[in-house]
Amino acid sequence: MTARVQSVLNEVEYIVGYKTYIDLIRSFITHQQIVATGMRQEIDRCREAIRLAAEGHRVAVVSSGDAGVYGMAGIIIECLEQENLLDLPLEIIPGVTAASAAASMLGAPLMHDFAVVSLSDLLTPWEVIEKRVRLAAEGDFIFALYNPKSNGRPHHIETVREIVLRYRRPDTPVGLVREALRGEESSVEITTLADFTNHPIDMLTTVIIGNSQTRIVGPYMVTPRGYKL
């Protein structure tokens, strides 16, 4: 969490968020009133936050990782537009996105160009996602995969593996990080492109697939930037 988030949380009257994320910031909650809603109630959360802000209250909407990467920032702006309230003061505070958090637990896999792709097809057609995976694989981008697997679509990650294998060696390093930087909840595994789908992967996992240069250095996964040592 950034220092800016800490000071803003301390200044607001209301904190609005998905209840799991509210639990993660319990230690910062003192005087603030909490509006916690369930999963997939993003729009309700925005409307409630905007209603409170329009009444003159100071409101923080919390998101995990970076609110600006697949997070709440966009939908808040879209709701403000719909309600003709774009003149309400809004500060978007960036955070450490899951790609960065996961990378830090693996070593330094993101030292070179990378593609961030969500495998969730709730809001995006699977054909679009699959095309992006193919093109980024061909471009030798490192991958940071968000929302890699859910019960509703267990096979997508296997399709990704098959596509990337057309362009990269089977022993390409792959890092699996679950609940990155959440203390004892976190887990880290470094495996290979050939094998990674045999390991546990769920919606709380971030998958980092190396590019053609990525290698294992001791306990770390590293993509060299290209310096001559």
Q: Which residues lie near a second copy (CB under 8 A)?
A: 1-3, 6, 42-43, 66, 68-71, 73-82, 86-87, 92-97, 100-101, 103-105, 107-118, 123-124, 128-129, 131-132, 135-136, 138-141, 181, 217-220, 222-227, 229
Count CB-CB contacts under 10 A for residue 146: 20
- What's the closest the beta carbon of residue 74 comes to a second copy, in angstroms? 4
DSSP code of residue 30: S
Give dist(CA 7, CA 199) in Å, integer.
Answer: 39
Q: Which residue number, 33 or 44, has a Cβ lying nearer to a second copy? A: 44
- What's the closest the beta carbon of residue 198 comes to a second copy, in angstroms? 26
Give dist(CA 96, CA 66) in Å, integer.
Answer: 5
Q: Which residue number, 83 or 194, has a Cβ lying nearer to a second copy? A: 83
Q: Which residue number, 33 or 82, has a Cβ lying nearer to a second copy? A: 82
Q: Which residue number, 87 or 184, has a Cβ lying nearer to a second copy? A: 87
Do the beta carbons of residue 19 and residue 44 sit within 8 Å?
Answer: no
- What's the closest the beta carbon of residue 67 comes to a second copy, in angstroms? 8
Identify which of 135, 185, 188 has the alpha carbon closest to the alpha carbon of residue 164: 135
Give dist(CA 33, CA 223) in Å, integer.
Answer: 45
Q: Which residue number, 14 or 220, has a Cβ lying nearer to a second copy? A: 220
First vs last Cα of the chain: how many Å apart? 34
Q: Which residue number, 31 or 229, has a Cβ lying nearer to a second copy? A: 229
Burial 8-38 (b: 16+ CB within 10 A, else e): ebeebebbbbbeebbebbeeeeeebeebbbe
- What's the closest the beta carbon of residue 141 comes to a second copy, in angstroms? 6
- What's the closest the beta carbon of residue 19 comes to a second copy, in angstroms? 19
- What's the closest the beta carbon of residue 27 comes to a second copy, in angstroms? 11
Contacts of 74 (CB under 8 A, 6+ apart): none
